[in-house]
Amino acid sequence: MIYYFSATGNSKWVAEELAKGTGDLAVSITEVMKSKQLPPPIKSGETLGLVFPVFAFAPPRFVIDFVRKLHVADDAFVYTVCTMGGAAGGTFRYLEKFIKLNSCYAIKMPSNYIVMSGREPADKIKEKLAKAELMLPAICESVKAKKAELKARNSFVSFLLTEAVATLFNKFASDKAFRSTDRCTNCGLCAKLCPLDNITLENGRPRWHGNCMHCMACIQNCPAAAIDYGNRTRDRERYVFDFLK
Ligand SMILES: Cc1cc2nc3c(=O)[nH]c(=O)nc-3n(C[C@H](O)[C@H](O)[C@H](O)COP(=O)(O)O)c2cc1C
Protein backbone atom coordinates (compact mmCIF):
# COMPACT_ATOMS: atom_id res chain seq x y z
CA MET A 1 0.00 0.00 0.00
CA ILE A 2 1.24 3.50 -0.83
CA TYR A 3 -0.26 6.31 1.24
CA TYR A 4 0.26 9.85 0.01
CA PHE A 5 -0.55 13.35 1.04
CA SER A 6 -0.53 16.10 -1.57
CA ALA A 7 -1.91 19.64 -1.66
CA THR A 8 -0.89 20.69 -5.16
CA GLY A 9 -0.31 17.39 -6.93
CA ASN A 10 3.47 16.85 -6.81
CA SER A 11 3.37 14.04 -4.26
CA LYS A 12 0.19 12.58 -5.79
CA TRP A 13 1.96 12.24 -9.12
CA VAL A 14 5.00 10.62 -7.46
CA ALA A 15 2.76 8.19 -5.53
CA GLU A 16 0.83 7.25 -8.66
CA GLU A 17 4.03 6.69 -10.65
CA LEU A 18 5.38 4.52 -7.84
CA ALA A 19 2.11 2.58 -7.80
CA LYS A 20 2.40 1.97 -11.56
CA GLY A 21 6.04 0.96 -11.31
CA THR A 22 5.63 -1.39 -8.35
CA GLY A 23 2.15 -2.78 -9.04
CA ASP A 24 0.90 -1.33 -5.76
CA LEU A 25 -2.07 0.87 -4.90
CA ALA A 26 -1.82 4.62 -4.12
CA VAL A 27 -4.31 5.84 -1.51
CA SER A 28 -4.85 9.42 -0.38
CA ILE A 29 -4.12 10.05 3.31
CA THR A 30 -6.66 12.90 3.19
CA GLU A 31 -9.40 10.49 2.15
CA VAL A 32 -8.51 8.01 4.87
CA MET A 33 -8.39 10.74 7.52
CA LYS A 34 -11.71 12.21 6.37
CA SER A 35 -13.35 8.77 6.46
CA LYS A 36 -12.48 8.55 10.19
CA GLN A 37 -11.76 4.83 9.61
CA LEU A 38 -8.55 3.26 10.86
CA PRO A 39 -6.23 2.23 8.01
CA PRO A 40 -5.87 -1.58 7.75
CA PRO A 41 -2.78 -2.98 9.52
CA ILE A 42 0.37 -3.54 7.46
CA LYS A 43 1.11 -7.20 7.98
CA SER A 44 4.32 -9.16 8.23
CA GLY A 45 6.18 -9.19 4.89
CA GLU A 46 4.00 -6.47 3.35
CA THR A 47 5.35 -3.22 1.87
CA LEU A 48 4.24 0.23 2.99
CA GLY A 49 5.09 3.40 1.05
CA LEU A 50 4.62 6.93 2.43
CA VAL A 51 4.78 9.90 0.05
CA PHE A 52 4.38 13.50 1.16
CA PRO A 53 5.73 17.05 0.76
CA VAL A 54 8.33 18.51 3.11
CA PHE A 55 6.98 21.30 5.32
CA ALA A 56 9.63 23.33 7.16
CA PHE A 57 12.24 20.54 6.93
CA ALA A 58 9.83 17.94 8.32
CA PRO A 59 6.80 15.86 7.35
CA PRO A 60 3.49 17.77 7.62
CA ARG A 61 1.87 17.30 11.04
CA PHE A 62 -1.13 15.79 9.21
CA VAL A 63 1.12 12.99 7.93
CA ILE A 64 2.53 12.40 11.40
CA ASP A 65 -1.04 12.19 12.77
CA PHE A 66 -1.82 9.60 10.10
CA VAL A 67 1.34 7.59 10.74
CA ARG A 68 0.46 7.42 14.43
CA LYS A 69 -2.75 5.61 13.48
CA LEU A 70 -0.92 2.92 11.51
CA HIS A 71 -0.20 -0.55 12.85
CA VAL A 72 2.86 -1.88 11.07
CA ALA A 73 4.35 -5.35 11.60
CA ASP A 74 7.99 -5.30 12.72
CA ASP A 75 9.15 -7.07 9.57
CA ALA A 76 7.09 -5.07 7.07
CA PHE A 77 9.17 -3.14 4.52
CA VAL A 78 8.60 0.59 4.96
CA TYR A 79 9.86 3.15 2.45
CA THR A 80 9.17 6.82 2.15
CA VAL A 81 9.53 9.38 -0.62
CA CYS A 82 9.32 13.07 0.14
CA THR A 83 8.89 15.79 -2.46
CA MET A 84 10.42 19.19 -1.76
CA GLY A 85 11.37 22.45 -3.36
CA GLY A 86 15.04 22.21 -2.43
CA ALA A 87 15.93 20.96 1.07
CA ALA A 88 14.47 18.10 3.09
CA GLY A 89 16.40 18.96 6.27
CA GLY A 90 15.93 16.21 8.86
CA THR A 91 12.57 15.03 7.45
CA PHE A 92 13.35 11.32 7.59
CA ARG A 93 14.93 11.31 11.03
CA TYR A 94 11.91 13.25 12.27
CA LEU A 95 9.60 10.62 10.76
CA GLU A 96 11.66 7.85 12.34
CA LYS A 97 10.48 9.03 15.74
CA PHE A 98 7.11 7.57 14.75
CA ILE A 99 7.82 4.68 12.37
CA LYS A 100 10.74 2.46 11.42
CA LEU A 101 12.04 3.19 7.92
CA ASN A 102 13.86 0.75 5.66
CA SER A 103 14.49 3.23 2.90
CA CYS A 104 13.94 6.86 2.01
CA TYR A 105 14.18 9.03 -1.07
CA ALA A 106 13.90 12.78 -1.63
CA ILE A 107 12.72 14.20 -4.95
CA LYS A 108 13.05 17.87 -5.89
CA MET A 109 9.81 19.21 -7.32
CA PRO A 110 8.48 22.72 -7.96
CA SER A 111 7.94 24.62 -4.75
CA ASN A 112 4.32 25.36 -3.86
CA TYR A 113 4.84 27.55 -0.77
CA ILE A 114 3.34 30.70 -2.29
CA VAL A 115 3.39 32.44 1.08
CA MET A 116 7.21 32.45 0.78
CA SER A 117 7.65 32.77 -2.99
CA GLY A 118 5.73 32.61 -6.24
CA ARG A 119 5.69 29.96 -8.93
CA GLU A 120 9.15 29.03 -10.19
CA PRO A 121 10.03 29.95 -13.80
CA ALA A 122 8.72 27.53 -16.43
CA ASP A 123 12.17 26.26 -17.46
CA LYS A 124 13.11 25.48 -13.86
CA ILE A 125 9.83 23.61 -13.35
CA LYS A 126 10.40 21.63 -16.53
CA GLU A 127 13.94 20.73 -15.49
CA LYS A 128 12.87 19.58 -12.01
CA LEU A 129 10.05 17.43 -13.39
CA ALA A 130 12.30 15.85 -16.01
CA LYS A 131 14.87 14.93 -13.33
CA ALA A 132 12.13 13.61 -11.04
CA GLU A 133 10.77 11.42 -13.81
CA LEU A 134 14.22 9.94 -14.35
CA MET A 135 14.58 9.04 -10.66
CA LEU A 136 11.35 7.08 -10.39
CA PRO A 137 12.18 3.80 -12.23
CA ALA A 138 15.24 3.21 -10.03
CA ILE A 139 13.23 3.87 -6.88
CA CYS A 140 10.57 1.40 -8.06
CA GLU A 141 13.22 -1.28 -8.70
CA SER A 142 14.77 -0.75 -5.24
CA VAL A 143 11.36 -0.92 -3.58
CA LYS A 144 10.44 -4.10 -5.42
CA ALA A 145 13.75 -5.64 -4.30
CA LYS A 146 13.09 -4.34 -0.74
CA LYS A 147 16.54 -2.76 -0.77
CA ALA A 148 17.59 -0.77 2.29
CA GLU A 149 18.45 2.73 1.10
CA LEU A 150 18.96 5.38 3.74
CA LYS A 151 21.39 7.77 2.00
CA ALA A 152 18.82 10.62 1.91
CA ARG A 153 18.63 10.60 5.71
CA ASN A 154 20.48 13.73 6.73
CA SER A 155 22.92 14.25 9.54
CA PHE A 156 21.93 14.33 13.18
CA VAL A 157 22.80 18.04 13.25
CA SER A 158 20.28 18.85 10.54
CA PHE A 159 17.75 16.78 12.47
CA LEU A 160 18.25 18.99 15.53
CA LEU A 161 17.72 22.07 13.37
CA THR A 162 14.60 20.45 11.95
CA GLU A 163 13.23 19.84 15.44
CA ALA A 164 13.48 23.55 16.17
CA VAL A 165 12.18 24.80 12.82
CA ALA A 166 9.33 22.27 12.58
CA THR A 167 8.21 22.91 16.14
CA LEU A 168 8.10 26.67 15.57
CA PHE A 169 6.39 26.24 12.20
CA ASN A 170 3.68 23.94 13.59
CA LYS A 171 3.11 26.34 16.46
CA PHE A 172 2.93 29.56 14.48
CA ALA A 173 1.61 28.65 10.99
CA SER A 174 -1.67 30.50 11.03
CA ASP A 175 -4.61 30.95 8.68
CA LYS A 176 -5.41 34.45 9.96
CA ALA A 177 -4.09 36.13 6.81
CA PHE A 178 -6.11 34.04 4.33
CA ARG A 179 -8.95 35.94 2.66
CA SER A 180 -11.10 35.62 -0.42
CA THR A 181 -11.31 38.44 -2.95
CA ASP A 182 -14.14 39.68 -5.13
CA ARG A 183 -13.05 37.22 -7.79
CA CYS A 184 -14.55 34.44 -5.64
CA THR A 185 -17.25 32.56 -7.59
CA ASN A 186 -18.60 30.74 -4.50
CA CYS A 187 -17.63 27.36 -6.02
CA GLY A 188 -16.63 25.91 -2.63
CA LEU A 189 -13.62 23.99 -3.98
CA CYS A 190 -11.38 25.42 -1.24
CA ALA A 191 -13.64 23.97 1.48
CA LYS A 192 -13.85 20.64 -0.31
CA LEU A 193 -10.08 20.35 -0.77
CA CYS A 194 -9.01 21.41 2.73
CA PRO A 195 -7.56 18.23 4.27
CA LEU A 196 -8.36 19.44 7.78
CA ASP A 197 -11.94 20.58 6.98
CA ASN A 198 -10.83 23.97 8.28
CA ILE A 199 -12.82 25.98 5.73
CA THR A 200 -16.57 26.54 5.69
CA LEU A 201 -18.57 28.76 3.35
CA GLU A 202 -20.40 31.78 4.69
CA ASN A 203 -22.66 33.46 2.16
CA GLY A 204 -20.74 31.42 -0.40
CA ARG A 205 -17.35 32.78 0.65
CA PRO A 206 -14.65 30.78 2.48
CA ARG A 207 -13.98 31.27 6.15
CA TRP A 208 -10.93 29.74 7.88
CA HIS A 209 -11.27 28.39 11.41
CA GLY A 210 -7.79 28.30 12.91
CA ASN A 211 -6.73 24.69 12.28
CA CYS A 212 -4.42 25.15 9.30
CA MET A 213 -1.14 23.41 8.42
CA HIS A 214 -0.38 25.83 5.55
CA CYS A 215 -0.56 23.10 2.89
CA MET A 216 -1.67 25.70 0.30
CA ALA A 217 -4.38 23.49 -1.23
CA CYS A 218 -6.99 26.28 -0.97
CA ILE A 219 -4.97 29.15 -2.38
CA GLN A 220 -3.18 27.21 -5.11
CA ASN A 221 -6.16 25.25 -6.42
CA CYS A 222 -8.68 28.11 -6.48
CA PRO A 223 -9.83 28.23 -10.13
CA ALA A 224 -10.38 32.00 -9.94
CA ALA A 225 -7.15 32.81 -8.02
CA ALA A 226 -9.53 34.45 -5.56
CA ILE A 227 -7.67 33.56 -2.36
CA ASP A 228 -4.79 35.61 -1.01
CA TYR A 229 -2.54 35.41 2.04
CA GLY A 230 -2.41 39.01 3.19
CA ASN A 231 -1.11 41.11 0.34
CA ARG A 232 2.03 39.19 -0.38
CA THR A 233 0.46 36.61 -2.74
CA ARG A 234 -1.55 39.15 -4.71
CA ASP A 235 0.81 39.28 -7.69
CA ARG A 236 2.23 35.76 -7.41
CA GLU A 237 1.38 33.19 -10.03
CA ARG A 238 -0.26 30.03 -8.63
CA TYR A 239 1.21 26.54 -8.95
CA VAL A 240 -0.42 23.15 -9.32
CA PHE A 241 1.22 20.09 -10.81
CA ASP A 242 0.56 20.07 -14.57
CA PHE A 243 3.21 17.79 -16.01
CA LEU A 244 0.80 16.19 -18.45
CA LYS A 245 -0.13 19.53 -19.96
C1 LIG B 1 4.17 25.01 4.39
C2 LIG B 1 5.21 24.56 3.41
C3 LIG B 1 6.51 24.39 3.82
C4 LIG B 1 7.48 23.96 2.92
N5 LIG B 1 8.75 23.74 3.36
C6 LIG B 1 9.67 23.25 2.52
C7 LIG B 1 10.99 22.95 3.01
O8 LIG B 1 11.31 23.06 4.20
N9 LIG B 1 11.90 22.52 2.12
C10 LIG B 1 11.59 22.35 0.79
O11 LIG B 1 12.47 21.96 0.03
N12 LIG B 1 10.34 22.58 0.30
C13 LIG B 1 9.37 23.03 1.15
N14 LIG B 1 8.10 23.25 0.69
C15 LIG B 1 7.77 22.94 -0.74
C16 LIG B 1 7.02 21.60 -0.89
O17 LIG B 1 7.58 20.61 -0.07
C18 LIG B 1 7.02 21.09 -2.33
O19 LIG B 1 6.64 22.05 -3.24
C20 LIG B 1 6.16 19.84 -2.49
O21 LIG B 1 6.58 19.14 -3.62
C22 LIG B 1 4.68 20.13 -2.60
O23 LIG B 1 4.01 18.88 -2.71
P24 LIG B 1 2.48 18.69 -3.09
O25 LIG B 1 2.28 19.31 -4.47
O26 LIG B 1 2.31 17.21 -3.16
O27 LIG B 1 1.65 19.33 -2.06
C28 LIG B 1 7.12 23.70 1.56
C29 LIG B 1 5.80 23.88 1.16
C30 LIG B 1 4.84 24.30 2.06
C31 LIG B 1 3.41 24.47 1.60
pTM of this structure: 0.97
Structural domains of the chain, ranges and CATH numbers in brackets: 2-170 (3.40.50.360), 174-229 (3.30.70.20)
Task: Return all residues near 117 (Cβ < 8 A) that are at least 6 apart.
Answer: 111, 236
245 has pLDDT over 70: no
Question: How far apart (Å, rounded) are the C-alpha atoms in residues 159 and 17?
Answer: 29
Helical H runs in 107-188? 122-144, 156-172
Can you give the pLDDT at residue 39?
Answer: 94
Q: What is the largest CA-CA distance in the chain?
A: 54
- Position 213, amino acid: M
Ligand 1 mean position, distance from CA 75 (Å): 31
113 lines ligand 1 (CB under 6 A): yes
- In DSSP terms, which residues pair with 127 in a beta bridge? none
86 lines ligand 1 (CB under 6 A): yes
The atom of ligand 1 lying closest to the CA of 110 is 19
Can you give the pLDDT at residue 244?
Answer: 56
Question: How far apart (Å, rounded) are the C-alpha atoms in residues 78 and 152?
Answer: 15
The atom of ligand 1 lying closest to the CA of 216 is 31
Residues 5-47: tens digit of each pLDDT: 999 999 999 999 999 999 999 999 999 999 999 999 999 999 9
Mean pLDDT confidence for 100-106: 97
**What are the φ/ψ torsions at residue 4 (nearest 5 degrees)?**
-130, 150
Q: Is 212 helix (H, G, I), strand (E, B) or coil?
A: coil
Answer positive or negative: Cα dihedral of 234, 195, 150, 148. negative
Residues 108-129: tens digit of each pLDDT: 999 999 999 999 999 999 999 9
Question: How far apart (Å, rounded) are the C-alpha atoms in residues 149 and 62?
Answer: 25
Give residue 140's pLDDT band: very low, low, confident or very high (50, 70, 90).
very high
Residues 51-84: tens digit of each pLDDT: 999 999 999 999 999 999 999 999 999 999 999 9
Instruction: Give buried/exposed letters for 225-245 (b at 16+ CB in 10 A, else e).
Output: ebbbbeeebeebebbbbebee
233 lines ligand 1 (CB under 6 A): no
Can you give the pLDDT at residue 153?
Answer: 86
53 lines ligand 1 (CB under 6 A): yes
How many angstroms from the chain centroid is the CA of residue 28?
11
Mean pLDDT confidence for 156-167: 85
94 lines ligand 1 (CB under 6 A): no
30 lines ligand 1 (CB under 6 A): no
Ligand 1 mean position, distance from CA 85 (Å): 6
Give residue 159's pLDDT band: very low, low, confident or very high (50, 70, 90).
confident
Instruction: Give buried/exposed letters for 106-132 (b at 16+ CB in 10 A, else e).
Output: bbbbbbbbbbeeebbeeeebeebbeeb
54 lines ligand 1 (CB under 6 A): yes
Q: How many CB atoms lie within 10 A of CB 96?
A: 17
Ligand 1 mean position, distance from CA 45 (Å): 32
